[in-house]
Structure 1
Amino acid sequence: MPDIAMKPGRCVRVEFEYIRHGTQALIASLNVATGRIDQATVGDTRTEQDLDTHLRALLAQSPEAPKIHLVMDCLNTHQSESLVRLAAELEPEPLALGVKGKSGILQSMATRAAFLTNAAHRLVVHFTPKHCSWLNQIGIWFSILVRKLLRRSSFKSQAELRAKILDFVDYFNRTMAKPFKWNYTGKPLTA
């Protein structure tokens, strides 16, 4: 059924029945210093391998960077074997990583997280605390994407959705990108 048109004093009423053409997963990297999306990957899945491919493309943009800091939430792929292996590849000396699920750095998610958060490494991951995703500025950018592109939109295919998201990333970087200004002072919100 078609949407119900806008009338004076009433916004468009969107029909709730729709045909689902599939979903897409977006992995994006926000540069907090510039406010730009440095890397965006849109695909059918968000697996450990997808994150690895995304991060390798991101790191290829700055191969000489002496230190790389990534802020991530506690999603299991953010503490994966492939991310540990990527971080280990960036170290000047080879590291013994052990065997996933059995020994060494790869033994558990806790040992992998401890390795990834070690400030002595070239690639350092900073995990936001559980239930504090608002600390991760990419979440703010995702809300912009939803408000400006996805809400009240309809896409005829996954390919169209993917193209629109990547076009929005390009548009955002050209016209809207700027560092987010934090203004929370640490004072309680109530008097």
Structure 2
Amino acid sequence: MARQPRPPHIVLSPEEQQRLTELARRRKTLRGLAARAQLILLSAEQPYTSLTQIGEQLGVCRHTVRTWRQRFVQDRIAGLRDAPKPGAPRKIQDDDVERLIRLTLDSVPANATHWTTRSMAQASGMTQNAVFRIWRAFGLRPHLSESFKLSQDPLFIEKVRDIVGLYLSPPAKALVLCVDEKPQIQALERNGGVFPMQPGEIEKRAHDYVRHGTTTLFAALNAQVGTVIGKCYPRHRSEEFKAFLEEVNQNVPADLDVHLILDNYVTHKAKVVQDWLVGHPRFQLHFTPTSGSWLNLVESWFALLTTRQLRRGSFISTQALETAIERYIQQTNEDPKPFTWTKTADQILESVARFCKRQLSRVEEQKYRETQE
């Protein structure tokens, strides 16, 4: 069989070099097009490298390298794009897709707060299936909504750096504890039968219940180890918080300083607590920013407690509820799992800044559209 001639060396103009580099690096470039752009760049940078070696660098076969080199030599950058697919022509053109996306982003139906595939199909003249496919392709989910809260604390940056610093680089001869209370935990006795889980069916239970009072859990999480100091109290006043600090003091070795991470709840700053701290100088309090309780890792442990013990539990009294909580704390301490903080303070602040800039640009864009209308 005759050997196929090797495609000529690829020489790029400065404009082609810049354009191919953008296609290879830009996140929004289709994966296949980005790979082809990288293939051509490698071919131009390594003119005497074999097709097989270039293919090995990109994870493709030599035939693929040859094909796209030939396409580029023939049609330049335009030759790297997908050829038209066989079959019937498209009924929905790019302009139609753009119109539907703009309609989704810039308007709401007259009789609802958000679009559905059915209402959008009626408004756009497309089928529900077409609307669904376009929304999925562009990541549009009008039926979902999330809430957010930006901290207005003037010391937000300083507090973030302080707390994250304690997580990532705790001080020597000191113990860092994440402290908070989970108030008003209801002792609910579930009435009615329970139909256990079956193949193809989830567990079903009656929604009737009887309240038997409430309790408040104070907890201190050692995030590095995963152990918890916890105690239940009937109320969550400053007196109870002071009593819990005494509990922590008794459970922490006397030769260690204690750094407590907690929120800005008034109980934590009461005079009786301040007086107690004066008599216990090894305790230092670090407050999270206002509306920044997500910085306190004990909230993650509270979520586990709720999911695994409280949400589906049935308790005939507050004593039974507290016994279940104490049992869960004991099991946690017998087999602790560390709560590892991964992001640095700079990464968090950069993320917040990006979010603010993105939201600000959206507001400005919306105002501009309103002025144009």
* TM-score relative to the length of structure 1: 0.75
Over 3 Å counting, the alpha-carbon distance change for 1:12 and 1:135 in structure 2 is same
Distance in 2 (CA, whole Å) between partners of 1:178 and 1:154 is: 26
Post-superposition CA distance 1:64-120 (Å, at most 9, x none): 3353210001111111112101111124xxxxxxxxxxxxxxxxxxxxxxxxxxxxx
Matched, 1:180 2:339: yes
Matched, 1:71 2:261: yes
Aligned to 1:26: 217
Aligned to 2:207: 16
Which of 314, 322, 330 is equivalent to 1:162? 322
Deviation at 1:33, TM superposition (A): 2.7
Q: Is the 8 A contact 2:224 2:340 kept in 1?
A: no
Aligned to 2:298: 138
Distance in 2 (CA, whole Å) between partners of 1:131 and 1:13 is: 36
Deviation at 1:150, TM superposition (A): 1.1
Distance in 2 (CA, whole Å) between partners of 1:180 and 1:6 is: 31
From the CA coordinates, give the structure whose radius of gyration is larger.
2
Greater length-normalized contact order (CA 8 Å, ≥ 6 residues apart): 1
Distance in 1 (CA, whole Å) between partners of 2:294 and 2:286 is: 14
Post-superposition CA distance 1:16-58 (Å, at most 9, x none): 2211111111001111232101x21112111111111110121
Distance in 1 (CA, whole Å) between partners of 2:328 and 2:313 is: 13
Deviation at 1:3, TM superposition (A): 3.4
Post-superposition CA distance 1:127-167 (Å, at most 9, x none): 11122211101111111111211121111111111111001
Identity %: 29
Aligned to 2:234: 44
Distance in 2 (CA, whole Å) between partners of 1:47 and 1:65 is: 29
Deviation at 1:9, TM superposition (A): 2.3
Q: Is the 8 A contact 2:223 2:340 kept in 1?
A: no
Letter in 1 for 2:301: W
Distance in 1 (CA, whole Å) between partners of 2:247 and 2:207 is: 38
Judging by fraction of residues, say which structure has more helix.
Answer: 2
SS of 1:24's equivalent in the other structure is: strand
Over 3 Å counting, the alpha-carbon distance change for 1:90 and 1:19 in structure 2 is same
Over 3 Å counting, the alpha-carbon distance change for 1:3 and 1:178 in structure 2 is closer
Q: Is the 8 A contact 1:70 1:125 kept in 2?
A: yes
Letter in 1 for 2:326: L
Distance in 2 (CA, whole Å) between partners of 1:127 and 1:83 is: 14
Q: CA RMSD of the aligned region, Å?
A: 2.2
Aligned to 1:54: 244
- Unpaired runs of 5+ in structure 2? 1-191, 356-373
Over 3 Å counting, the alpha-carbon distance change for 1:34 and 1:7 in structure 2 is closer
Distance in 1 (CA, whole Å) between partners of 2:256 and 2:233 is: 30
4+ aligned runs moved over 4 Å, structure 1: 187-190
- Unpaired runs of 5+ in structure 1? 92-121
Q: Is the 8 A contact 1:14 1:152 kept in 2?
A: no
Letter in 2 for 1:164: A
* TM-score relative to the length of structure 2: 0.40
Matched, 1:86 2:276: yes
